[in-house]
Amino acid sequence: MTDASATPQGRDQARLPAIRVVGQYVKDLSFENPGAPDSLRAAGQPTIDLAVDVQAHAMDENLFEVSLVISARATRENKPVFIVELTYTGLFQIQNVDAAARDAFLLIECPRLIFPFARRILSDSTRDGGFPPLMLEPVDFAALYRQQMAKRQTRNGQNGKGAPPAPPVES
């Protein structure tokens, strides 16, 4: 029997980018229903303000914690109907990804992998709070990443030329 890593093809496979989801978990969850029971009886659709953020932290050289922070605030006639905040986190082991591509990978692909689980938790939370389930549309994490990079360049006084922005992944 031969060792696959001894062949040229095996060496190429050993250097391919690899990701492994080590775990995923609710880091923080809050649901507020400040107007209940009156808010449950009111007619009309509430206005929902939604915010999504992604944060990544290096745990060690190949292990990263990626948090998807989602908050939704529903109001009707300027009165709060419900407020839900979720930080859903994945622990990812990433290998053979260079530093330049790693940040984009962590802030685009990793949240894309854990988003369906966070979406279900938000849906269940609003339903369990007495409201119709909050069904989030898929998030374009690439566009969110580009917005974060543009804000970072603006904060650093760059106009898109010169040095790249500081990496968003915190150690």
Residues 39-96 pLDDT 10s: 777 777 889 999 999 999 999 989 999 999 999 999 998 889 999 999 999 999 999 8
* 169 assigned to some structural domain: no
In a domain, 32, yes or no: yes
The enclosing domain of 79 has a CATH number of: 3.10.420.10
What mean pLDDT value characterizes the chain?
85
Query: What pLDDT is attached to residue 156?
Result: 81
Q: Is residue 124 part of a domain?
A: yes
Please measure the distance between the N-terminal and C-terminal CA atoms of the chain and give it in whole angstroms. Answer: 43
Residue with tokens 């409201």: 131
Alpha-carbon distance values, 54 to 49, 86, 94, 98, 154 (Å): 17, 12, 17, 20, 19
Residues 75, 31 contacting (CB under 8 angstroms)? no
Determine the pLDDT at residue 167.
45
Look at residue 36 in the predicted model and tell me its pLDDT: 82
Sheet with strand 18-32: strands edge to edge: 18-32, 79-95, 63-76, 47-58
Pair of tokens at residue 168: 């968003």
Q: Which domain holds residue 104?
A: 17-155
Please check the confidence at residue 141 and state whether its pLDDT lies above 90: yes
Amino acid (one-letter) located at 89: T
pTM for the full predicted model = 0.79
pLDDT beyond 50 at 162: no
How many other β-carbons are positioned within 10 Å of the β-carbon of residue 63? 14
Distances in Å between the Cα of 141 and the Cα atoms of 6, 44, 52, 111, 138 are: 38, 31, 10, 7, 9
Q: Is residue 100 part of a domain?
A: yes
| Any domain includes 2 | no
* Rg (alpha carbons) of the chain, rounded to whole number: 20
Is 58 inside a domain boundary?
yes
Is 102 within the bounds of a domain? yes
Burial of 103 (0-12, 13-18, 19+ CB in 10 A): buried
Burial of 16 (0-12, 13-18, 19+ CB in 10 A): exposed
- Residue 163 within any structural domain of the chain: no
Number of domains in the chain: 1
What's the CA gap between 22 and 138, in Å, rounded? 23
For residue 28, list its beta bridge partners: 87
